[in-house]
Amino acid sequence: MVGAAQSGSGKTTVTLSLVLALRARGLRVQTFKVGPDYLDASLLTWASGRPCRNLDAWLVPEEHLLELFGRATASADVAVVEGVMGLFDGRSGETDQASTAHIARLLGLPVLIVLDAQAAARTVGAVALGLASADRRLDVAGVVLNRIASERHLAVCRSGVEAVGLKLLGHLPRLPSLALPERYLGLVGAEEREPRRAVRRALRQGAAALDLDAVLRAARPPARAGGRSLFPARRRPAETAIAIARDAAFNFYYQDSLDLLQAWGAELVPFSPLADSALPNGVGGVYLGGGYPELHASELSANLPLLSSLRAARARGTVIYAECGGAMYAGAGIEDAEGRRHRMAGLWPGWSTLRRRRLKLGYRTVSAAPGNVLHPLVVSAHEFHYSRTMGREPPPTSAAWEVLDEPGRTEGWAGPGLVASYIHLHLGAQPGLARRLVAACS
């Protein structure tokens, strides 16, 4: 487990360097990301060469996380998990539920503490000691320092770490080329743009300064094994096909959710709303995931044949499940940050806007409204967006979800075969959830 005192400390760059170094030794590396983040996970997928999985103890109960972790690591030599925010930051400030520390305890993972040493020296040892001693149930393997400026800087920081009885397991130098590109939802994902050659070179240079032997000696089998309640004993034969939007505009998906759909009888058929002229033939469902449709709004709006194909699919009863960016695309249109309006599929009557944008972020408990194909369902969910819906809220008969944390609030639109909302689900949240979605598409 790679953890830190706060966001921006260098967890992602350290994790990427570590994964690349392990792969260079010929090891099969399974990566994970704590929390609901899609973007860091896409970078970890790029580095490891196999799909990264999310470990979120709010979206998915502990027993299911154990099952998903065990399933993903069965064909790997080593697992590397990137934490989220600060080591003990989770769902709320009252407990550390769904935090990096929570997942480390659940799986029995040794923790590498990443510290940003850019504006510090010997004091990094005191910070590391505070993190290491705040919860004695954690097994802290050692410290990795980020943004080291020189050999002298490294020597002073090493002295501080070793003075408090912790091991220094490596460092990353202060290199401008190690900076990963960002935008308003986080890092730019690898599905949209792979790291530049200079970044790849810097990551490998940083990997050379990690004590890989010591890191591997600290690794151990997970403390607990998971049961089997999410997946069928054998993969079901395909009973329906689901078209899944995958391109630069739409790429926010949890890999375990996709695996569950396939295991319960869905053939997943990728298509591009940017480039394709029609949906794949014969599909019973369409999954429009999240992403950045607003950055590609003019191209999406100009692809009239695909928009027409979506409307025709809706008219003949094809199930359309649209999350966040996918819901924006399924709506009447998108107003971008400059105020330009772009017409979209019109499967629900609202417009989305990026003007005067404001972050809407948090975990939710939601109940599927009667018009939702998943009704009745009460489930943990997540919301993370800067856009907002313009105009009136849907009438109660057309809402997709009731947000139980905010009495009286509804979210999204639903109708025969349509669910479109800002709510993100992980299909590992409950046994049978993926099966129900496959059944609806069948």
Show which residues are catalytic: 324
Residue entry with tokens 């996970």: 41
Phi, psi of 362 (to 5 degrees): 155, 165
Which residues have C-beta within 8 Å of that of residue 290, sequence separation ≥ 6? Answer: 38, 250, 252, 323, 324, 325, 326, 424
Q: What CA–CA distance (Å, rounded) separates 203 from 152? A: 22
The DSSP call for residue 210 is B
Helices 62-73 and 100-107: angle between axes, nearest 10 degrees: 70
Q: How many residues does the chain have?
A: 442
Residues linked to residue 104 through DSSP beta bridges, in sequence order? none
Decide: helix, strand or coil at residue 62: helix
CA of residue 108 relative to chain centroid, distance: 22
Q: Which residues pair with 342 in a beta bridge?
A: 334
Alpha-carbon distance 274 to 344, whole Å?
A: 12
Return the structure tokens found at 15: 């994790």
